[in-house]
Amino acid sequence: MTRIEDKINEIKLKIPEDDIDAFNILLENKIIDENLASKLKNAKGMRNIISHQYGKIDDKIVFEAITEDIDKDVEKFVEQIEKTIK
């Protein structure tokens, strides 16, 4: 096992029922903060809207969200996870 796998096993997080539950579990265990959990849940919701084509989609808004907001959120997510496994 790698050091990362050892740390994950040590934390003993419950298995999420879905993607949103995964963010809630990370939040409950103080692995990610509330602001980031909210942003990731919203990104998941946007993904559902895009993939299932609910309503009208503004390509410009989607592009800006992907290239600006989500990129920053992913970087923050990685940073917060790395703090946990070190």
Domain count, the chain: 1
Q: Once rounded to an integer, what is the mean pLDDT over residues 47-73?
A: 77
Query: Which is more confidently placed, 6 or 72?
Result: 72
CB 84 within 8 A of CB 12: no
**Predicted confidence (pLDDT) at residue 45 exceeds the cutoff of 70:** yes
Residue ranges making up the domain that contains 39:
3-85
Q: Once rounded to an integer, what is the mean pLDDT over residues 25-45?
A: 90
* DSSP-derived 3-state class of residue 6: helix
Q: What is the pLDDT of residue 7?
A: 66
